[in-house]
Structures are given as C-alpha cells and as structure tokens.
Structure 1
Amino acid sequence: MTDQGKGMLLAFAGILVLSPDTLLVRLLDMPQWDLQVWRGLGQCGGIGLGVAAVYGASTFAVFRAVGRWGLLASVAQGAASILFVNALYLTSVANVLALISTAPLFGALMSRFLLGERLAARTWGACLLGMAAIGIIVGGDVGGEGSHLAGDLVALAQAACMAGAFVLVRKRAEVNMLPCMVISGALVALFSMAQGGGVVVPVDKLPLLVLLCFGVLAVSFGMLFLAPRYIPSPEVNLIMLLEMVLGPLLVWWVVGETVPPATMIGGGLLFATLAFHSWLGLHSVRRARRLARAAGG
C-alpha cells in the first residue's frame, strides 16, 4: 500500500471510530470529573500499551525524545481534552463540534505569530469567514432563555489548545510525538482526580465507559495522530470535518438532541469554508510535489 493509501485509511478509520464519542458521553450521563478520569486513563493506557508493544525495550527512549516541546504539547492536548468534555456539559454537541473544528484556523494564526510562518491569502480569507461563522453560532446563544454562551466559549478555548498542541508537535516534526498522547492522558486523569473525580462507577455504565475510553478514544486518536505522517495535513483536516456532520447526526438519531438554527447556518458556513480551504491547501501541496518531481527529472 502506498503512503497516500495508508494516510487516507488511517484518517478515515480514525474519524469513523471517533464519531460516537459525543454520543457515548450523552448516553453515559455521569459526573463530569469521573468521566474525565476515565478518559484520561483510557488514552494513557490504550495508547501507552500500543507504544510499548511497538518499541519494546526502546519505549523509554521514545518518550524521552519528545523533549520539552513534547511536554508542552502534552499539557496543551490535556487541556484540550478537559475543555472538550466540559463544553459538552454546557452546550449542544453540534455547537461543540462546529466550534472545535476551527482548530486549523487557530493553528494557522499561531504558526504565523509564534513560528514566523507565512500564511497564504486563502488562509487569511478562511480566518475571516471562520470568524463570521463563529459569530453566527455564538450570537445565537447570546441572551435568551437557555443560553449556552459559556459552553461555546469553552469549545473555542478547546480549539485553541488543540491547535497549540499541533503547532508544538510540528515544531519537532522529525520526532515521533505519539508519546505526548500518553502523557496528556495521564495529566488529564491526575487533574480530574484532584477535582474530585474517581474511578468507581455504577456497574451498568462500565461497558459503555470501557468502549469509549479504551476503544473509541485510544484507537481513534492513535490513528489520527499518525495520519499526517503519510498525507498532507490539509487532507487530514478535510477528512476530520466529517465529525462535524456525523457526531450531531448520531446524537440526534439516538437521543433526539436537535441542532440550533444559528448552528446550522454558522456550521454550514464554517464547514464550507474549512472544506474549501483544505482542498486548496491539498491542491497546492500536490502541485508543489509535481513541480519538484519535474525539476528532479
């Protein structure tokens, strides 16, 4: 199988496995910090066992290689994980998934101002349209009965933290940063325990909890984290947009949670903006590769 095929398979499989995440959170309906503890343990244990199985005696060296940038990325990813669940307790699934999909735009801005990378005109345009879409989504929750503004803001903070983690990982692109997911899982579990979270849960919730934490999260994050090693990040971003559609659809189908009108409008604009931007980015990458091959030939 070609690298393109491997990357596409990893990205599609990862997002399909991840799609039931929000639905399972709704079905579990358990205290937030208990759920956070389990999510952290699942991510840490599931991915940690995978890394140990692959690297064996070299596992410690692989962890040590991530360095201080890897530790910072772990903290950012851990914060993103905590904020994600917190947002689900404060606003609708559709709002959360729409707003956290802005992570690539936050990442582009961080790359410009923190790493000094130049941004293409299409990225600046996408940022402006993305801000308009965010305004529509958040504006629908300003005031009125049952306002979810706090949850929307938490979801935006999650997107910023996740983008920060990706930027830090890209800063050390030559290093395997998968151990960062293990470290961030441990940090999430420890922080959640400090907030009063525990591991004791009702027996009837254990099957879904194990499925979510040790199956859905560990498997999906592992595959999505590896996909950019084989295909360009714009292609991964484009595939990940599927969660914005699949997540709310599953939650609506099973538990009847509807999508607010403002989210349908803003989310549609955001989806179109990000999809077009990723397509242009992918086209640019492939064009550069063709020119490089032609020059080499």
Structure 2
Amino acid sequence: MSHLSTLSHRQQGLLLTAGGAIIMAPDALLIKVADLPDAEILMWRGFLSGLGFLLIALLRYGRGTLAAYRRCGWTGIAVALLFSLTTCGFVLGNQYTKAGNVLMILASSPLMAAVLSWIILKERLPRRTWSAIVVCMLGIAMIALDDAGAGSWLGNSFALMAATTLAINFTLCRTRPGVDMSPMLVFNGIVVGSIAGLFWLAGSEPALPATNQLAVVILLCLIIVPCGVTLLQRGPLYLPSAEVGLLLLLEVVIGTLLAWWILAEQPAPMAMVGGVLVLGTLSAKGLYERRLELRQRAGLDAISVTVDRSNTL
C-alpha cells in the first residue's frame, strides 16, 4: 500500500493541491524569462503541455486510458475548454502587466469558487474558511499594492478571465465526484496550441526561439505545467472548490517571492508583511483542521470501542 493511500481523504486532497500549487509557483516568472511574443508562447505552451498531459495520463492509466477519457464525458470537454481560457488569460495577463497584478487577481478565485459552490452545489463552508479567504485576500492585496498602478487594463482583464474560468472549472469538477478530469487537459493543449499556432504562422517570419528561450519553454510547458496542473485538477475530487482555490494562494505568494528574487525586484515592507500573513493563515488553518480531524477520529474510535463492548456483554 502506498503512503498516500494511508492518508485520509482530506489529507490526500491537501497534499495533492498544495503540491500542485508549489510546482506551479515559477509559472509567471518563467513566462517573463522566456520573453516570447503572445502567439508563440501560447503555441508552445499549448502543444508541449498537451504532450505532457498525455504522457502523464498514459503513465497513470496504461491500457485504461481510453476508459478514463470516456468517464469524463461532456463535463470533461467543458473543463478542457474552460482551462483553455484560463491558460490564455494567465499567459496574456503576464504579457501585458506585472506578475503581481496577475497573481493578485488570480487570488480572487477562492471567493468566486465559494460563491459558485454555494449557488450550484449548495455547499456550506465553515466560518473559518470564509475568514481565511478574507485574510488571505488582504495579504495578497498588500503584496501587489505597489504594482496596482502599473498594470494595464488589458492585462488585468486577461487575469480576471483566468481567475473566473479557473473558479468555474474547479466547481464544475465537483459535479462529477470521483471522476478524474485531468486527462482532458490534453485537449486544452491542442485547442490553445492550434489557435495560437495559426496566429504565429500568420505573423511575419515565424522562427524557432533562441536556445536559452527554448530551454525555459520546455522546462515550463513540458514539465512544470503538466505536473502541477494535473495535481491541482485532482484537488476538487477531495476538497471543496473554494478550499482548492485557497491553497492556490501558495502559488501566488511563492511565485511573487521568486519574481522578486530572480528579477532582482526590491519588495516593499508591506508586501513582505502580506506574504507572511498569507502563509501564516494557511498554516494556522491547516493545523487547526488537522487537530479537528484527529479529535473526530478519536471520537469515532471511542464510540466504536463502546459499541463493541456492549455487543460483547
């Protein structure tokens, strides 16, 4: 039995989602480091990530890969199309405004997911989750406060599209409990790569990127994006969509810190406080819920022992 299978359902969801968020943390940074035109970066991201998603699906399901695709049904097609919009919004947002702006707007996805889950799935979230969302949003606002005036309306609009479609995506996944939608992300890559490729070919003198740019693109699109997004896409199988979105804030904070470090940007003191606030809130919430889970398990064990004794008597 694998170690993952020994964890509780909730623990598996936390581990998968947090792992995916951490893997995806360099995403915004590497898009800027690649420094490619809009259509070209989207084309490479689409086709290479699609190949990566396919390899992961074949590795996980083997001969059952086709059956895994059939289980997704029409919901899976909708998930793939939504994630295509998320990909375009995130990449183009980073092309037209600072990473801090994009990440701050992307951080609004937990609130959108919470509202959608309340409307569509009738999920009731505990007060601690709502409180954590509010505190984390405050922290993210503090992080990107010095970037807020520098972003263009176009870049911010693309980022808002990414946040909205991501929230809808995660909520939609929860309408099919137990069905893994991550294999459908292959079609997201095909859609994005094909459309962007047409624009790239229509441009003037299309050519391969430089060696250093190509290395960054391969690392990001063939390895980081497929691995990170596959984990994130599995999150709604275990956790409410709002909590999946909340854990995505790890990507926001770590990604912003990486951009500061690699691009030699000097973070403002308020931004540093905001990062500590977000990470501290996520850690405190996780530890508190872990204690609640242990108490509930201990209570169930005690009830089980009492019932066994009564039956013996």
Q: TM-score, normalised by structure 2?
A: 0.76
User: Which residue of 1 is the match for residue 60 of structure 2?
Assistant: 54
Q: Could you say what secondary structure the match of 1:201 adopts?
A: coil
User: Which residue of 2 is the match for residue 34 of structure 1?
Assistant: 40
The answer on whether the counterparts of 1:42 and 1:217 sit within 8 Å (CA) in structure 2 is no
Distance, in Å, in 2 between the alignment partners of 1:2 and 1:220 is 17
Paired letter, 1:176: D
Structure 2 unmatched ranges of 5 or more? 306-313
User: Which residue of 2 is the match for residue 242 of structure 1?
Assistant: 250
Distance, in Å, in 2 between the alignment partners of 1:165 and 1:197 is 30
1:216 to 224, 227, 240: 224
User: Which residue of 2 is the match for residue 154 of structure 1?
Assistant: 158
User: Which residue of 1 is the match for residue 193 of structure 2?
Assistant: 189
The answer on whether the counterparts of 1:105 and 1:127 sit within 8 Å (CA) in structure 2 is yes
Superposed displacement of residue 168, structure 1: 0.8
1:122 to 102, 122, 128: 128
Once structures 1 and 2 are overlaid, which stretch shifts more, 266-275 or 247-256? 266-275
User: Which residue of 1 is the match for residue 70 of structure 2?
Assistant: 64
1:202 aligns with 2:215: no
Superposed displacement of residue 121, structure 1: 3.0
Distance, in Å, in 2 between the alignment partners of 1:136 and 1:249 is 13
User: Which residue of 1 is the match for residue 184 of structure 2?
Assistant: 180
Superposed displacement of residue 236, structure 1: 6.0
1:25 aligns with 2:63: no
The answer on whether the counterparts of 2:96 and 2:151 sit within 8 Å (CA) in structure 1 is no
Q: TM-score, normalised by structure 1?
A: 0.79
Larger radius of gyration: 2
Distance 1:192 1:15, change over 3 A: same
**Alignment coverage as a number of residue pairs:** 295
Distance, in Å, in 1 between the alignment partners of 2:143 and 2:114 is 21
* 1:221-236 equivalent positions in 2, closer than 5 A: 221-226=229-234
Superposed displacement of residue 206, structure 1: 1.6
What is the aligned-residue identity percentage? 31
Paired letter, 1:50: I
C-alpha RMSD over aligned residues: 3.6
Superposed displacement of residue 132, structure 1: 6.0
Superposed displacement of residue 23, structure 1: 1.9
Distance, in Å, in 1 between the alignment partners of 2:187 and 2:258 is 30
User: Which residue of 2 is the match for residue 164 of structure 1?
Assistant: 168
